[in-house]
Each structure stands twice: as structure tokens, then as C-alpha cells.
Structure 1
Amino acid sequence: MTHQPSKRIPTDSPATHGSTRELRADARRNRQRVLQTAQRLFAQEGLGVSLDEIARQSGVGPGTVHRHFPTKEALYLAVSIDQLEHLVAEGAALAATDDPAAVFTLLSHMMTNGAENSTVKSALTAAEFDLRIAAPEVAANLTGHVANLLDRARAAGTVREDITVDEVMALVAGTFAAIHHANAQASPTRSAHIGRIILDGLRPQSR
């Protein structure tokens, strides 16, 4: 069986890039409005919602959406990267605090975000997209924040000493699968409960 490389969207699409610095201010605002609307509609109505409907509810013309996101897959990818960037910003903010348990806050929000965007993530997986390839810098930055917060928590004794950042990231990914298996994507209470069970496994065990 031959290896199939992860697919990539066209390199001239704005969705390929984690940064929108080259866009004009009004174009950036429109793009962000489209991403926020798309995330909400995908979570509420599924992936069948059309680009034209996303444009209508974003308050922009269909041409604006199609110009930024020529395909649904490009939009899925952009939504996921945008959410990663928000998590990176949160990780940076938590790193600036002295909270020894901040890693649990970040991981909890990563799990919640994954549950809320499970349909988009499933679509990317089915299309053989890998965010670590599509947005390597953003993915690396998020992992770096988790690693730093994990080191702080380990030094404070709030996490077990034998846990590594790779294992933590694997557990986060596994949480998405657990939430999907329990059909709890649409229930913030149930998905958060599953996340807490998994996070409890990172805490030092009482003897």
C-alpha cells in the first residue's frame, strides 16, 4: 500500500496562512467575521451549511467568502487554525501568571474547543488534512505553551512527575475521540465531565 501524503489546500489561498497580516484592515475584519460565523453554524447545523449562507449571516457578499475560502475544505482548515491561534494566545496569557495549575485551565479549554469543533475536525481528518503540517508554527507554539505550563505544574507538584508533553497532547486528542464515542459533542456538561475525568489522571496520586 502506498503512502498518501496529507492533502494541502492551494498555496495562494489566505486560509493556508496562520497570519492575515498582509490583508487590509477591512479585509481582516471581514475574514474574522466569516470565520466566527462559520464556526457557529458548523457547530449548530453541521457541515452542510452553504458558503452563501455563511456569507449572508456574516453580513458580507458571497464573493468575499469565496475569495478568502475557495472551497469548504479551505474554510474548515481556516476555522481550525483560527481556533488554535486563540488557544495559543490563551497559553501565552496563562504563562504570564504564576498559577501552578494553569496547565489544567489550558488543557480544559483545548478539550472544550475540540468538542465544539468536532465536526470540522472530523471533516479535516476524513480529507487527510493534518494541522501540524498545514499550520506547523501555530501547532508548535501551542505545544510549547503546554510544555512550559506542564513544567511549572510539575515543579509545584500539581501534576504527576512521570507525564510528558507528548503524552498530554495524546490525551487531549484522545478526549476528542472519547467525547465523540459518547455522542456528547452537543452537550457541554457531558463533554466537560469527560474532560475532567481525563485531567484527573494527570494529578498526583494519593498514597
Structure 2
Amino acid sequence: MSSQLEPAPANPTAAHGSDRELRADARRNRERVLRTAQQLFAAEGLGVSLDEIARRAGVGPGTVHRHFSTKEALYLAVATDQLKQLVAEAEELAAADDPAALFTLLSRMMANGAENAAVKSALAADEFDLRTAAPGVATDLTRHVAGLLDRAHAAGVVRHDLTAEELMALVAGAFAAIRHAGAETSPKRSAHIAQLILDGLRPLPRPGPARPR
């Protein structure tokens, strides 16, 4: 019989726990990079470098590159993340019994786009086409817009001739109007322009009786 000690068996529980910790740490780092990138893209535009994003996020450049191979990939991830939040808001509005919830959602979409370059690029297809880059998110958002539009149509609080595709086009057009008016840095002015657009979606007034001559 050999007198050598057999190697102790590996502790699978400890190994799995370590893997979980690494995965949790990686998720936290990715979330930190996303939040930092969102803030920097909104404040400084797409010109900010990945190294600067890493520095401001408090992680190494290699951490950013492991999660996002290019700045464009990070930009897309930021936009998709923000739009998923809009989809979540749309789901909440769809669950509420408010026939005018469509206007609330459109107002939030316009406000988010006016304040966030990544959201604006996604909704207006400036840097990329959301329908191609993140088709699932685009489909979900359009579906909720269409559902809230159907409810608004049934309640008579929106123009009867309005379609979901036209609504999405008007949201993109709102960003162009805000930029043309030089109101991108003024939440008050951009909100006023958005409200003018939303007011145009309400039902046309019915003509009154003809006055006798």
C-alpha cells in the first residue's frame, strides 16, 4: 500500500461559488460601464473614447473591451438598454386604464430622446437603424405604441386617421425639430416643441352648424 497522501478532491461548491462571484462581478462592471457611457454620451456625444469611459467608470480599459469590442457596440448597448426601459414604461401604461396613455408614452419617448443622444439616435435611426440592430426591442416598442393607439382610437382621444408607423416617424421628426430650433440644451423649449406635436395628434374639431347668411 502506498504511503503517499492522495490529493484532496476539488471542492465543487467552492468552485461554483467562485464562478458565480466572477459572473456577478462581471455583471456589475458591465452595468457600471453602461451607466457611465450613457452619461458621457449624453453630455459629450459619441466622440468620447473607450479609455475615457473606462477611467470614469473606475475600471481598466481591458474590462470595457471585453464587454464591448468597439465604441459603436457600446453605443448600441446603451441605446438598447435605455429603450428597454421605455418598453417597461410602455408595459406599465398598457396595464393602466388610461385612454390617453399614448400621449404619456410619446411624451416620455421625446423627452428621453431630447436628453439622451443614444436614445435619439435609435429612435431617429441617426447612428443605426434600431429595427436592424435590435429588432426585438424595436418590435416591442412599436407593438406597445400600436396597442395604446388602438385604445386611444376607441376612446376618441386621438385622430382617427393616425397609424403607429406615422407616430414613430413623428417622434423621430420631433428630434429634428428640436435640433433645428436649437433647443437641444433647453428641456423647457424641447418639451414645448414636443407638446406642439402631440397637440396635433388630437381629434380635429367638428365643424359647427353653418351660419345663416
TM-score, with structure 1 as normaliser: 0.81
Q: Distance in 2 between matches of 1:139 and 1:181?
A: 26
Counterpart in the other structure of 1:98: 97
Counterpart in the other structure of 2:176: 177
Residue identity matched to 1:26: D
Unaligned runs of 5+ in 1: 1-22
How far is the alpha carbon of 1:126 from its aligned partner?
6.2
Q: Is the 8 A contact 1:42 1:120 kept in 2?
A: no
Q: Could you say what secondary structure the match of 1:52 adopts?
A: helix
Q: Distance in 2 between matches of 1:103 and 1:33?
A: 32
How far is the alpha carbon of 1:191 from its aligned partner?
1.0
Q: Is the 8 A contact 2:50 2:61 kept in 1?
A: yes
List 4+ stretches of structure 1 deviating above 6 A. Answer: none
Q: Is the 8 A contact 1:185 1:191 kept in 2?
A: yes
Counterpart in the other structure of 1:53: 52
Q: Distance in 2 between matches of 1:161 and 1:102?
A: 16
Q: Is the 8 A contact 2:158 2:201 kept in 1?
A: yes
Q: Is the 8 A contact 1:43 1:116 kept in 2?
A: yes
Larger Rg: 2
Counterpart in the other structure of 1:84: 83
Per-residue Cα deviation, 1:116-137 (whole angstroms, up to 9, x for no partner) = 223775599565x311101001
User: Which residues in structure 2 correspond to 1:15-164 (within 5 Å)?
Assistant: 24-118=23-117, 121=120, 129-164=128-163
Q: Distance in 1 between matches of 2:99 and 2:27?
A: 36
How far is the alpha carbon of 1:186 from its aligned partner?
1.5
Residue identity matched to 2:185: A
How far is the alpha carbon of 1:29 from its aligned partner?
2.6
How far is the alpha carbon of 1:92 from its aligned partner?
0.7
Counterpart in the other structure of 1:201: 200
Change (3 A) 1:132 1:168: same
**Percent identity between the two aligned chains:** 74
How far is the alpha carbon of 1:178 from its aligned partner?
0.9
Change (3 A) 1:145 1:122: closer
Q: Give the total of aligned pairs.
A: 184
Unaligned runs of 5+ in 2: 1-21, 207-213
